[in-house]
């Protein structure tokens, strides 16, 4: 009998519905939207597939045990009952990551230590050597979530956050998360066929995610490992079958990216090559003020500088964006993510507003329909 697991995929606030749609397209069972997460169920192959293919998930967690805590020691005693030796071997390193909202625990670190003690003592109890803790690069990650007296212990099947596709080389100042970029593309309604322009592409995240969608290059293909590969019941054959089933699409879509900084464009080229999408991207150094609207560039999506990246001159910069869109891109649709404070200086009325977070920064993702003449006409 195939075992079914209770699973949860975490994401950014505002992307829950698009993540749920991805899971339903994968034929996941019991899909239910929550806050910054989507619950679902499936077998181990679903765990592998979710990690390898989901574009808008940050983590995929596998529920091990859920219980009520009435006193601090309940965490230790319940965790001691879990057959940890069935999940991973003692030669694997592990770490506990906790989120705790409870008066029973002074802080999340104390809760993590109690769970860690229970895991180590369980291995000793069954006659095995104790596994080592590695808080920096653990092979196995145990996730602990406590809200009031409700406790859930899960295995983190992803390891590193799934936004780390593997194509980003080095560091770029304030890059947008790959997961957020993919979510924005899905929220915008971009169909993967319509020509797309990012006129402030930075190191290329938005246009690369768009190209990966268009070609059906899956997030896991670029080259990364997953925590589930260190589990005792890891089925390498099943995972290899998922990886080999990828079907790239031959596409003729036009995706353009430009940036004022030559270094950003150089990095974007390298990232696009690593992501296997350099063949359909058109990248160039250009100032937004100098861009001309092409007949095939009616859909723009971009992430202008804001927050700590822009301090003095916010008003003039965003006013320039509004004027350029109004007079240079008539008939196009533009989606922009920024702070509410910055976006008010664009001077255009948005057709749609979607609240999102870029990191810890509260933002708005806005759609502007750039009519020729007035909307009424």
**What DSSP line would sit under 162-180, residue for residue?**
TT--S---S--SSPPPHHH
Q: How confident is the model at residue 297 (pLDDT cuts 50, 70, 90)?
A: confident
The structure tokens listed for 297 are: 């560039």
pLDDT in tens, 10-34: 999 999 999 999 999 999 999 999 9
> For the chain, how big is the Rg over CA atoms in Å?
23
pLDDT in tens, 130-172: 999 999 999 999 999 999 999 999 999 999 999 999 999 876 5
Q: Which residue reads 């009616």 in tokens?
A: 298
Looking at residue 377, what is its pLDDT?
47
Q: Where are the domains of the chain?
A: 5-156, 178-217+251-369
pLDDT in tens, 75-121: 999 999 999 999 999 999 999 999 999 988 888 999 999 999 999 99
* Residue percentage of the chain with pLDDT more than 70: 94
Could you say which architecture CATH assigns to the domain 5-156?
2-Layer Sandwich (3.30)
Looking at residue 240, what is its pLDDT?
96
Long-range contacts made by residues 319-324, C-beta under 8 angstroms, separation at least 24?
319/345, 319/346, 319/347, 320/288, 320/289, 321/288, 321/346, 322/346, 322/347, 322/348, 323/347, 324/288, 324/289, 324/291
d(CA 165, CA 163): 6
The residues, any chain, with a CB within 8 Å of residue 366's CB and separated by 6 or more, are 335, 336, 337, 343, 350, 352, 353, 354
Could you say which architecture CATH assigns to the domain 178-217+251-369?
3-Layer(aba) Sandwich (3.40)
Asked if the model's pLDDT at residue 373 lies above 80, the reply is: no
Cα end-to-end distance, the chain, whole Å: 64
């Amino acid at each position: 009998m195939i075992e079914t697991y209770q699973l949860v995929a975490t994401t950014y606030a505002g992307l829950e519905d698009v993540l749920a749609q991805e899971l339903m397209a994968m034929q996941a069972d019991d899909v239910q939207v929550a806050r910054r997460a989507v619950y679902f169920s499936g077998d181990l192959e679903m765990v592998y597939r979710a990690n390898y293919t989901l574009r808008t998930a940050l983590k995929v967690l596998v529920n091990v045990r859920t219980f009520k805590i009435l006193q601090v020691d309940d965490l230790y005693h319940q965790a001691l009952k879990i057959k940890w030796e069935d999940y991973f071997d003692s030669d694997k390193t592990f770490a506990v990551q906790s989120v705790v909202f409870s008066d029973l625990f002074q802080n999340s670190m104390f809760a993590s230590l109690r769970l860690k003690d229970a895991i180590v003592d369980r291995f000793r109890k069954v006659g095995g050597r104790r596994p080592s803790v590695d808080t920096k690069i653990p092979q196995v990650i145990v996730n602990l979530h406590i809200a009031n007296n409700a406790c859930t212990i899960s295995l983190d099947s992803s390891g590193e956050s799934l936004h780390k596709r593997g194509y980003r080389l080095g560091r770029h100042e304030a890059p947008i998360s790959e997961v957020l970029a993919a979510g924005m593309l899905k929220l915008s309604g971009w169909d993967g066929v319509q020509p797309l322009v990012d006129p402030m592409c930075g190191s290329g995240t938005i246009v690369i995610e768009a190209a990966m969608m268009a070609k059906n290059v899956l997030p896991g293909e670029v080259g990364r490992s997953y925590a589930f590969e260190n589990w005792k019941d890891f089925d390498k054959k099943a995972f290899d079958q998922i990886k080999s089933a990828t079907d790239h699409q031959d596409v003729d879509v036009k995706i353009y990216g430009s940036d004022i900084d030559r270094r950003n464009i150089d990095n974007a080229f390298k990232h696009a090559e690593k992501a296997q999408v350099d063949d359909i991207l058109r990248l160039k150094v250009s100032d937004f003020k100098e861009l001309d609207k092409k007949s095939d560039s009616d859909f723009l999506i971009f992430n202008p500088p804001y927050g700590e990246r822009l301090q003095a001159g916010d008003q003039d910069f965003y006013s320039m964006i509004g004027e350029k869109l109004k007079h240079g891109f008539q008939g196009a649709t533009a989606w922009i993510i920024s702070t509410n404070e910055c976006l008010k200086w664009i001077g255009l009325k948005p057709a749609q507003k979607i609240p999102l977070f870029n990191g810890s920064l509260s933002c708005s993702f806005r759609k502007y329909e750039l009519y020729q003449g007035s909307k009424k006409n």
